[in-house]
Amino acid sequence: MVEQEIAQSVTLALNEDLNGLSAAEGDITANLIPENTQAEAVVITRDDAVFCGKAWTQEVFRQLGDTVNITWHVEDGDLVKANSPLFSLTGPARTLLTGERTALNFIQTLSGIATITKQYTSLIASTNCKLLDTRKTLPGLRNASKYAVVCGGGHNHRIGLYDAYLIKENHIMACGGIAEAIAFANKQHPERWVEVEVENIAELKQALDAGAQRVMLDNFTIPMMLEAVSINKANPVQADLEVSGNVDSSTILSFAETGVDYISVGALTKHVHAVDLSMRFVQK
């Protein structure tokens, strides 16, 4: 994650609350409090979770004036228990309240992604299979979401459309075939890895023969996965095999046990269940 991108995300999020105004003008409720009132607050999680979002929280309060001191009790990637403190804040009461929801929105979303990722990786920990994310992310939070996946113990698939080839059904049709698409890819960007999505064993064989580096087995049954692994092992140059489709907590282990290298799960970043958080002022 680059600092500039985090700063841009935070700026957009704060503008949603403040309508592009300063905190003094935009947060009309916080401005009920006398300007010189100082406060101390603590943020706790109501759920068991994997924490993620420290840098975004720090950036929220930096942009609001850098007058808030944050004491961290956790780090990104830490397992946290329900009702445990995540961090404490001291500073102007107005600033704490203005930044509260923006900071918590980042944490609840990113921690939700990290938490579900940890649950999935734990299910396949007994295998050599790796869990991958996808590009099915919240707009504007691609890299943040993928960072959260890593915090949860997962691995990143390609980041965008620019860093790797993923040749799907429509690409294949428009290019004239699997072999043709792979040949074009290797000619255009030989330094980029090439993955092909296939829907049956015949297409798998075509992709292997054409030199695909990774083959995505789309909606394969377990018998088809086992056959694909066997065919790949017998191939002179083996490709990485990735399973996609019909993956949930009840199927992921049986899929991983077939011997495939990767399983990609769009739900990690698409079906985000936010972690329940709460900020409370400390009575003095």
Whether 270 is catalytic: no
Active site residue 136: yes
CA distance linking residue 269 with residue 145, whole number of Å: 6
**DSSP 8-state code for residue 32:** G
How far does Cα 137 stand from its chain's mean position? Answer: 7
User: Would residue 101 show up in a list of annotated catalytic residues for this protein?
Assistant: yes
Of the candidates 101, 142, 205, 270, the residue annotated as catalytic is: 101
CB atoms within 10 A of CB 280: 10
- Burial (CB count within 10 angstroms: exposed 0-12, middle 13-18, buried 19+), residue 142: middle
CA 194, CA 167: separation in Å to the nearest integer?
8
H helix or E strand, kind and range, residue 42 = strand 38-45
Catalytic residue among 133, 195, 197, 242: 197
Cβ–Cβ < 8 Å for 264, 237: no
Helix (H) or strand (E) run with residue 131 in it: strand 130-132
Q: Spot the catalytic one: 199, 218, 227, 257.
A: 218
Under DSSP, the state recorded for 155 is B
**Which of the residues 168, 192, 205, 270 is marked catalytic?**
168
Question: How far apart are alpha carbons 53 and 72 in whole angstroms?
Answer: 12
Contact 164, 213 (CB under 8 A): no
Catalytic site residue from 136, 142, 192, 270: 136
Residues annotated catalytic, as ranges = 101, 136, 168, 197, 218
